[in-house]
Amino acid sequence: MLEVRSLSRSYGARVALAAVSFTVAPGEIVGLLGANGAGKSTLLRTAAGLQPPDAGEVLVAGQDVWARPLEAKAALGYAAEEPTFHEELSALEYLTFVASVRGLAPAAAHERAVRLAQRLDLHRRLDEPVRAWSHGMRKKLSFLAAVLHEPRVLLCDEALEGFDAPSGLAAKAELRRLGAAGAAVLFSSHVTETVERLCARVVLLHEGRVARVLAREDWGAGDDAHSPLERVFLDVLGQPLAAEAG
Amino acid sequence: MSRATPTQAFRALERRLLARRAAELGLRLWLVTATLAACVAAFTYWQVRVPLDGARRHGGVPAATRRLATVLGAFALAGGALAAWRRRSLASAPPGPEWLALPLEPARIERHLDAEARLPALGAVVPAAAACLAGVGLLPVWALALLALGFALALALATRLACALVLLAAARAAGPAARLPAAWRALVSVRSPAAARRLLPARFRTESPARALARLDRAVSLRAGPPRARLALAGGALAAGLAAWPAVGEPFQARALAFAAFALACAEMGAWAAWRAAGDPPAAVRPLPLSLGDAWRARAGALAALLGAVLVTHALAAAPLPPLARLGLPLAWALPAALLPLLGLHLGLSLPGRPATAEGLYIAWLATALLASVTIPLLGWAVLLAACAQATRRLPRWNAPEPV
């Protein structure tokens, strides 16, 4: 279970998050939608323990990420929007490090890493330094490292952007499998169609606040020009539906 | 309004960049910079003034002029080295947009990067001005004016030459890029992906997080990059220190040389610790269940083992010294062995994700300690102790990094 409680964060005078609260239950895949600068990445980075909040707390499997970071992070996976790695290391070297730190059994971790790498079409280049990898491959590696330990809470920050179609399908299948196994998944994306298909619920962020929380049955049907979530999204932004045509 | 030429556009860009950097520095850092500049100037003044006075008394104006010209020449060369260092980092990762996607002559872009690289070299003007000031009253005004002009020309020449040499080195290319002009080749080679070569397959293991971090450190430090460069320098200094014992006959001279090399090695190990402790990519490492204790133990353990082995080797190699002095040597040298790497480690841990900043701060502390020791013997160690205490107080920043 992921609980975000009154999370606030400002950059100088600019408010990125203003008392944001919501929960993601075990087994649930929740979408996080918002315009550029709405605070999605700030929320996910704060929830992952990358940057401290000004106020509020994030509970991962009942543990506060900032008060009890080790316990919380043991249950957490995070796939970054702009993943960074030790450029000198091979992907497999990085994955062995992640597996060691997470205390995974070596044989099982190796088997799962190779299986996931095959599905994401990374397996032939696992022994190459990450420096030589493309942006899409780095995103896949970040996703692989995030799900390697079958986390109880998974944070995906635009995680599937840059994936080729087969890898995208494999990643979504893995997310659904993790959800079915009881993981709480928070999935941030700009692609509303992906969120519609993958998520049971959507949190809409607007200017650092939760503008709406929608269940699948709430967002209704789309039309020829807009997907159902696009209609809601444009409504929240206060933009007319004809904006695309105009 | 008429259209701007590329030259005007670059001038405007450089002006804006300067203004933005000056504004971003903030009042406190400006004051710190000004204080440091004043300290450097005062130090240089006295270090130049006293020997210059001696030269004037013994060799007259020509000898003093030669001496001051040598000092200014050294500062111009140091400026050139600074420009080369900066140009090298700009060549490998030029800041700004995808330059080659813009309708600009590559040579124009390179000139902009040269100008950026020459900026830090202006730091040499501070001690040079202090050195010229030290000549007031000892040399005629016309000689001082000529020397100042000569320094300005030498600095301009040295920085331009340094940038040109670095550009030539950066422009080495094979394949289709080899036919391009040098400036173009340098920019092309920046963005081209590194050749993919396979590494030895890694093995999944059961081990503690600190041990896993230490293994990661070893892997990263064996590959090309700043940590390996620091370790290589440390290794060289350690070897030179050990070689001093058999190479220099006089025992106390040998000990002084061995200690100087050992202290240099410790300083480089501190720089390595700063890079490794701060250099883990945040998005890859921070979401993992790692504690500050793990991060500290991984590096401190490796450094302690290495330095302990080196100290024992020194004690064994110090054959020219009496037995009691040999026994006491590891104890006497333990302070630098602990203090310097610990300072680097703690600065690195308190600045996660910002290795260059951590190393910059570390070098600034070392320079301050060196200046303090030159001014008042042994004061530098007090400065280093204070720095280490301050860095240790900042350790909680590992858990809650400062906003950048």
Question: What is the DSSP code string of B384-402?
Answer: HHHHHHHHHHTGGGGTSPP
The pLDDT assigned to B168 comes to 83
Q: Do A101 and B281 touch (CB under 8 A)?
A: no
Q: Average the pLDDT over A131-154 and give the result.
A: 94
The pLDDT assigned to A193 comes to 86
In this structure, are B62 and B142 located in the same domain?
yes
Distance CA B299, CA B303 (A): 6
Range of the domain at A187: 2-217
Inter-chain Cβ pairs, chain A and chain B, closer than 8 A: 135
In this structure, are B94 and B169 located in the same domain?
yes
Partners of residue A128 in chain B, C-beta under 8 Å: 196-199
Q: Do A83 and B283 touch (CB under 8 A)?
A: yes
Q: Average the pLDDT over A175-191 and give the result.
A: 94
ipTM surpasses cut 0.85 = no
The pLDDT assigned to A246 comes to 42
Q: Do B287 and A48 touch (CB under 8 A)?
A: yes
A206, part of any domain:
yes
In this structure, are B18 and B166 located in the same domain?
yes
A127, part of any domain:
yes
Residue with tokens 């995906």: A156
Partners of residue A77 in chain B, C-beta under 8 Å: 287
Q: Average the pLDDT over A126-143 and give the result.
A: 92
What is the CATH classification number for the domain harbouring A185?
3.40.50.300
Which residue from B215, B190, B189 is spatially nearest to B204, judged by alpha carbons? B215
User: pTM of this prediction?
Assistant: 0.77
A223, part of any domain:
no
In this structure, are B184 and B236 located in the same domain?
no
- Give the nearest partner residue to A70 out of B211, B282, B289, using CB atoms: B289
A88, part of any domain:
yes
Task: Answer with the one of B130, B157, B190 that is the final residue of a domain.
Answer: B190
Which residue, among A57, A101, A123, A158, would best test binding to B if mutated, counting the most B CBs under 10 Å from its CB?
A: A101
B403, part of any domain:
no
Beta bridge partners of A77: A154
Q: Do A127 and B200 touch (CB under 8 A)?
A: yes
In this structure, are B232 and B333 located in the same domain?
yes
B198, part of any domain:
no
Q: Do B225 and A113 touch (CB under 8 A)?
A: no
- Give the nearest partner residue to A80 out of B209, B225, B283, using CB atoms: B283
In this structure, are B394 and B276 located in the same domain?
yes
CA distances from B230 to B93, B252, B258, B368 (A): 20, 29, 19, 20
Task: Report residue B167 as tokens.
Answer: 């550009």
CA angle at residue A1 from A114 to A34, to 5 degrees?
A: 85
B61, part of any domain:
yes
More confident residue, A152 or B251: A152
Stretch (H or E) spanning A171: helix A165-180
* In contact, B246 and B331? CB cutoff 8 Å: no
Alpha helices, DSSP H, located in A14-134 = 40-47, 69-74, 91-101, 106-119
A227, part of any domain:
no
Full pLDDT tens readout for chain B, 404 residues: 567 787 888 888 888 888 888 887 788 888 888 988 998 899 899 989 999 999 999 999 999 999 999 999 999 999 999 999 999 888 877 887 777 777 777 888 889 999 999 999 999 999 999 999 999 999 999 999 999 999 999 999 999 999 999 888 877 765 666 667 777 777 766 555 555 678 888 899 999 999 999 999 999 999 888 999 999 999 999 999 999 998 887 888 899 999 999 999 999 999 999 999 999 998 889 999 999 999 999 999 999 999 999 999 999 999 888 889 888 998 999 988 999 999 999 999 999 989 999 999 999 999 889 888 887 888 899 999 999 999 999 999 998 887 76
A226, part of any domain:
no
pLDDT band of A245, cuts 50, 70, 90? very low
Task: Report residue A67 as tokens.
Answer: 């008060």
Range of the domain at B55: 6-190
B127, part of any domain:
yes
B53, part of any domain:
yes
Q: Do B223 and A109 touch (CB under 8 A)?
A: no
Task: Answer with the one of B190, B217, B246 that is the final residue of a domain.
Answer: B190
- Give the nearest partner residue to B287 out of A73, A89, A113, using CB atoms: A73
Instruction: Assign B171 to helix, strand or coil.
Output: coil
Q: Do B202 and A48 touch (CB under 8 A)?
A: no
The pLDDT assigned to B189 comes to 62
Partners of residue B92 in chain A, C-beta under 8 Å: none
CB contact residues (below 8 A), chain A span 151-170, against chain B: 155
Distance CA B404, CA B400 (A): 12
Domain count of the fold of chain A: 1
In this structure, are B151 and B185 located in the same domain?
yes
Alpha helices, DSSP H, located in B141-250 = 141-170, 182-191, 209-222, 226-247
The pLDDT assigned to B40 comes to 87
Interface of B with A (CB under 8 A): 193-207, 209, 211-213, 215-216, 219-220, 223-225, 280-284, 286-291, 399-401, 403
* In contact, B302 and B272? CB cutoff 8 Å: no
Partners of residue B218 in chain A, C-beta under 8 Å: none
CA distances from B360 to A116, A140, B174, B367 (A): 41, 34, 35, 10
A243, part of any domain:
no
CB contact residues (below 8 A), chain A span 77-136, against chain B: 77-78, 80, 82-90, 92-107, 109-110, 113, 125-129, 131-132, 134
The pLDDT assigned to B404 comes to 64
Q: What is the least distance, in Å, from the CA of A217 to any CA of chain B? A: 34
B404, part of any domain:
no
In this structure, are B181 and B246 located in the same domain?
no
Q: Do B223 and A129 touch (CB under 8 A)?
A: yes
Domain count of the fold of chain B: 2
* In contact, A43 and A7? CB cutoff 8 Å: yes
Q: Do A73 and B204 touch (CB under 8 A)?
A: no
In this structure, are B265 and B147 located in the same domain?
no
A230, part of any domain:
no
Nearest chain B alpha carbon to A133: B193
Residue with tokens 């944001």: A20
